[in-house]
Amino acid sequence: MNKTIFSTGIIFGVLAVMLGAFGAHGLESLIEADAIGTFETGVRYQMYHAFLLLIFANTGFIDERDKKTVFYLITLGVILFSFSIYLLATNDLTGIDFKKIAVLTPVGGVLLISGWILIGIRSFKKRN
């Protein structure tokens, strides 16, 4: 499981760097500044959680079942949160109305928060 978590962190990190560069250089003349800011928010949160997965994969203070749950919460949270933001920020570039998926962004956020809370709860219970 640790190798899967670590690999996912690497993939999220690589994609965050690529998407960040694309947002900064490829989108600057195509979408408005506020949309670029929104896009960058998705990149930033994706990178934060890439780092989390890289660190989390190398910890031993949480049992495997909880580790798997945290991994799923964070992975699904990044996909729903960041990737829905990417689509919403670039909505004007396509003929597809991505505003219908806007509900996925807060769902992804709740999953990310849940992952962090589970890490906190399990780490404090382990120490006591």
Domains of the chain, CATH where assigned = 2-127 (1.20.120)
Angle made by CA atoms 44, 68, 17, in degrees to the nearest 5: 20
Round to whole Å and give the CA distance between 25 and 106.
27
List per-residue pLDDT tens for the chain, 128 residues long: 789 999 999 999 999 999 998 888 877 877 778 878 888 999 999 999 999 999 999 888 888 898 999 999 999 999 999 999 998 888 877 777 777 888 889 999 999 999 999 999 888 877 55
Its pTM stands at: 0.88
At residue 118, the 3 state secondary structure works out as helix
Owner of token pair 């949309």: 35
